[in-house]
Amino acid sequence: MKRQSDALLHAELTAVIAALGHGESLVVADAGLPVPALVRRIDLAVRCGVPTFADVLRAIAGELVVESVVIAEEADDAEDGRLRTILLGALGPSVPTELIPHDELKRRAGDAVAVVRTGECVPYQNAILVAGVSF
């Protein structure tokens, strides 16, 4: 058992984060994002809304140095910018955000080390986290 009560407890996700190198990516996805066949899937979805995208992102952000984030342009229009608010709360204002078309985000998910599937059932709640370094 990890010492910190707020530490990420999911063993597989912890191992993936620990193994990420600078510039490699991890996708945090809603329940509907297709996961490319050759990309590792870490499926956390229990039911619609459990766990939320925001909960999973906050847990990951506590463990991963995030250099930048990529989201779909469509997410900026959907839900009154909800995704940007979630990213700001979890990652802070200093992490650059790149906007790309949703179809391009799905293609780039194929280059990720893993896709973490949440129970989020809100459209476009997906983010590609690009790993940074702590030094």
Tally the domains of the chain.
Answer: 1
Alpha helices in the chain (DSSP H): 11-19, 53-61, 73-77, 82-91, 102-108
Task: Kindly state whether residue 1 falls inside one of the protein's structural domains.
Answer: no
Task: Kindly state whether residue 92 falls inside one of the protein's structural domains.
Answer: yes
Whichever domain contains 40, its CATH number is 3.40.1650.10
Task: Kindly state whether residue 53 falls inside one of the protein's structural domains.
Answer: yes
Give CA–CA dist 4/38, Å, rounded: 33
pLDDT value for 125? 96
Task: Kindly state whether residue 32 falls inside one of the protein's structural domains.
Answer: yes
Task: Kindly state whether residue 2 falls inside one of the protein's structural domains.
Answer: no
> pLDDT (tens digit, 0 to 9) for every residue of the chain, 135 residues total?
666 767 899 999 999 999 999 999 999 999 999 999 999 999 999 999 999 999 999 999 999 999 999 999 999 777 678 899 999 999 999 999 999 999 999 999 999 999 999 999 999 999 999 999 999
Q: Is 33 helix (H, G, I), strand (E, B) or coil?
A: coil
Give CA–CA dist 99/69, Å, rounded: 9
Predicted TM-score (pTM) of the model is 0.95
Q: Give the domain extent around 74.
A: 11-131
pLDDT value for 25? 98
| 10 part of the active site | no
pLDDT value for 80? 75
Task: Kindly state whether residue 4 falls inside one of the protein's structural domains.
Answer: no
Choose the catalytic residue: 22, 34, 92, 111: 22
Q: Is 97 helix (H, G, I), strand (E, B) or coil?
A: strand
Give CA–CA dist 44/40, Å, rounded: 13
Task: Kindly state whether residue 3 falls inside one of the protein's structural domains.
Answer: no
Task: Kindly state whether residue 36 falls inside one of the protein's structural domains.
Answer: yes
pLDDT value for 1? 62
